[in-house]
Structures are given as C-alpha cells and as structure tokens.
Chains A and B, each alone.
Chain A
Amino acid sequence: MSHADLLDPAPVFQLKGSMLAITVLELAHNDLARLDHQLSEKVAQAPNFFQNTPLVLALDKLQPGAQRLDLHALLAVCRSHGLRTLAIRANLAEHIAAAQALDLPVLPPSSARERPIGPGATAAPVPAKKPEKPAEPLVRPTRVVTTPVRGGQQIYAPGGDLLVLAPVSAGAELLADGNIHVYAPMRGRALAGIKGNGQARIFCRVLAAELLSIAGRYKVAEDLRRDPNWGEAVHIHLAGDVLNITRL
C-alpha cells in the first residue's frame, strides 16, 4: 500500500449508534457450583436460548461480603452453557479491574428497562426495539355546535377550539383548551384555554355572559356589565393578567 493510498479520503468505516436488546445475567450469589447446576436446568428447559447467546454479566447485584469472585471461572461456566459474555456490568473496583485484565468491556450499572426472561422463552430475545409510536396529535379539529346550548349543559372541546352558532343560555358552560367563538347571544359561561393556554381568546356576537375566563383569569357579569361593550360584538383576550374586551 503506497503512501498515496493511505491519503485516500473515501471513508473506510462509519460509526453508528444502535439499540440492541440483550440478555443480562444478574449474579446474586458468588456460587459458581450452584450457578453451573441451575444453568444446566435452564438449558434443559429452553435449549434454543442457550446457543451462543450474547450476554452481559451483571455483577452489581452481588450480595456484599461475598468472597473474591473468580471472573475467569465464571466466564467459563457461562461459555460452557452457550452464553458468550460481551461485557460485564459492575460498580466495584476489583470487578472492573478483573474485567479489564480479561479484556472485557465494563458497562456502568444502567437504569435501562430490563425484562426478566421467563422459562418459556424459546426464541432469541427481541432483535430490535420497536420505534417510538408518534406522539398523539395534540390539536383536535374545532368542535362546532349548532343547536342552542341550554342551561345546565356543559360542552368541552379538548385540545382545540369551540364554535357555537346558536344561543347559549344562562347557566350553560362552554369550555375549551383553545378559543371559544359564540356567533349568537352569549348568556352563559365561557372558559377558554382551560389547560393554561393564555393565548386563547373568546369571541361573542352579543356579550351578555355570566362569566368569561381565559386560562383561569376571569370576570363575572357584574364587572362585564360595566364595560361599554356589553351587549355588543366583542373579542376578549388576556393581556398580562387582565382580560381585555375589544369591540369587533
């Protein structure tokens, strides 16, 4: 290979991130004889599982005060049952040192979700993690109401706007995460942006409401009546902490 070839910029390799589901063997007791025996039992139950299965050996769950672990022997026991150790998971210095001596990578104790694999597992573990489901759409289409909203009725438009094209009687309640539009006499209560959306607005063709609220800031009829726009077509929005009523 000439010097010129070494300078060839075409990439020889690529580094990629990957998600792998892998079996973890959590060692509870430093008892290799019993491990050997119990692994034999497991192999008898699910022989296909133990065919050169990649393994992470977790030593961080070992009972404290155990005698010195013979990592080499432990690896041999696993290998004899078809379990090939890729790395160990450890937090004790001596375990880490032992792993490094054997040229085994050390993984930190992780909080990754781990499923205990039952005796019925015959197939290899799930090869790849399923991609995350796309998040639920947060915005829903506008809810449109065309019949009069009578006293005692409550209409809630989650995740969107509410549009009412008929009169809203006193004692009726309109709620929305978004805006509320009432293109008819509005004599009831309207609560917009109830999940805290201070940008929500309320529109009325005739302002005669009992209560108007945007993201929790409200005004009752007593205050609203004093507004010169009472009975007119208005648009209400929140400016800072105050409800502003503007003529449409």
Chain B
Amino acid sequence: MAKILVITSGKGGVGKTTTSAAIGTGLALRGHKTVVVDFDVGLRNLDLIMGCERRVVYDFVNVIQGDASLSQALIKDKRLENLYVLAASQTRDKDALSTEGVGRVMDELRESFEYIICDSPAGIEKGAHLAMYFADEAIVVTNPEVSSVRDSDRMLGLLASKSRRSENGEEPIKEHLLLTRYSPDRVTKGEMLGVEDVEEILAIRLLGVIPESQSVLKASNQGIPVILDEQSDAGQAYSDAVERLLGKETPHRFLDVQKKGFLQRLFGGRE
C-alpha cells in the first residue's frame, strides 16, 4: 500500500527540501521504491538538492496539464535505482496546480511507488495546502526557534482540519516532529529552545533531531543528499530518523554537547 508523506513546516528555510531529499534517499537505500515530488511551483529547489537539475525536461505542471506523461517527467536518480524525482515548474506559479490534477498524479504514482514524498513549499496557501491534502503521514520540520514553532503549530492545525482525510472523516494524518538545526551548545546556554520545550508546545511524536551542521551546505552545493555523507552528524541523524519512520526504535543522538578532546581543541578549530 503506497504511502504519501508530506514534508511541511509553515515557516520557510527550516530544512524541508533538505529533509525531503534525505528521507527520500534513505528510504530508497533501504529498498523501497520512492519518488520525491516538488510542490514549490515557480521556486523549485528539489532538483538542485537531488543533483538532477541538468536533466529536467518535463515537470509536475506539464503532467497535470497533460503535456507529458508521468513516465516522461520522472527523473531517475543516478545513484540509486529505487529513487525518482518529479520536479516542479520553474516558469509557472502555484495557480497552475489544481486539486483534481494533483489527485490524478498522486493516484498514478500510487500504482508504482511505495513511498511518495511531497516536498511542500513554505506558507499555508495553495501550494502548501495541495502538498498536504493527499498525505497519509506528515513530517513537520521545525527549527528550535519561536517563530518556527508557532508556524509549525499553525501547520499542525491545518493538517488536522484541511486535509482530505479530515474532510472525509478518515483516520487523521499521522504527524511527526523533526527538529532541525539543533545546537546543544546553545540550548545549554539557554539561547535556544530545547527538545523538551518544543515537544511540550507542539505535543507530537519526535521523529528525530538533526544537528546544525556544515555538511548540509556542502551537500546542497554538490547536489548530493546529506544522508549519503555517512561521516557527517546530520547525515547520521537523518539515517536514524528514517529508521524510526520505518518503525525501529532508535535512541536520539546529537542531543548533548560533544565534549572535545585535547587534540581536537588544539587542531580541530570550530565544530
């Protein structure tokens, strides 16, 4: 049974596309046929983060409008055979999406994929609404920062009330919290909200905590999803998150301040 997962947040710039790429890749690595769909029409980024921007011919809007078939628009990932990308249009805007059109594409994707990851745009308007409308599960990406938490809270309210599942009275969307750009140092200093604070305010299940990491920027620029950088803390944290998504209980890492060894402090410079 295919699962539609939406990666959403409300707030912009918290790490939705990074997360979509990482989780999509993580699932494909574990043998599940996955497609990642970019819903940010006009401001597409997913193709850059996935490293397939040079191979985009047809996009999501083309498929909705019947200019191209789904198989023509889907881009196969070069590194993994189970992974596909459906890019967004760069020239159009969100008005080009329609509920019926998106619904048709989702139905068609459900026929051949196990996981459909919907990378939502920021905000709560049409693009974000359509990204979450058909979802079965949602990963709400939040930075441990007040405005991000407030916007995630709003998004949780919308997930509970404006999705197709809620409109049809079906079981509600399963919500997960993913805390990104977490810095245990700053939490200890009292500058940043801690995991418990965010969990208390949002009251949903914690999927994972991704530490603030320089590897994320490196990964974006190279077009390689950060989860493939197995040395980086962020990559490992995403790997743990995928395990938890698939039902395995894994202890949370990178929550505490890493004690630096003597040599590390001497030669390591800033973490």
Residues of A bordering B, CB below 8 Å: 147-153, 166-167, 169-172, 185, 187
Contacts and interface: CB of A to CB of B under 8 A. Distances in A.
B161 interface: yes
Given A169-B153, A170-B153, A171-B154, A153 B161 contact: yes
Interface residues of B, number: 11
Interface string B110-152: 0000000000000000000000000000000000000000100
B160 A150 contact: yes
A169 B201 contact: yes
Contacts of A152: 154, 157-158
A127 B188 CA distance: 85
Interface string B199-231: 011010000000000000000000000000000
Contacts of B161: 153
Contacts, number: 34
A151 B203 contact: no
A147 B160 CA distance: 10
A148 B158 CA distance: 12
Sorted nearest first, the 8 A-B pairs with minimum C-beta distance are A150-B157, A151-B153, A151-B154, A152-B154, A169-B153, A153-B157, A150-B156, A150-B153
B222 to A, nearest CB: 37
Contacts of B160: 147, 150
B161 to A, nearest CB: 7
23 contacts: A148-B156, A148-B203, A149-B157, A150-B153, A150-B154, A150-B160, A151-B150, A151-B153, A151-B154, A152-B154, A152-B158, A153-B157, A167-B201, A167-B203, A169-B150, A169-B157, A170-B150, A170-B153, A171-B150, A171-B153, A172-B157, A185-B200, A187-B201
Nearest to A170: B150
Nearest to B155: A150
Contacts of B157: 149-153, 169, 172
Contacts of A153: 157, 161
Contacts of B150: 151, 169-171
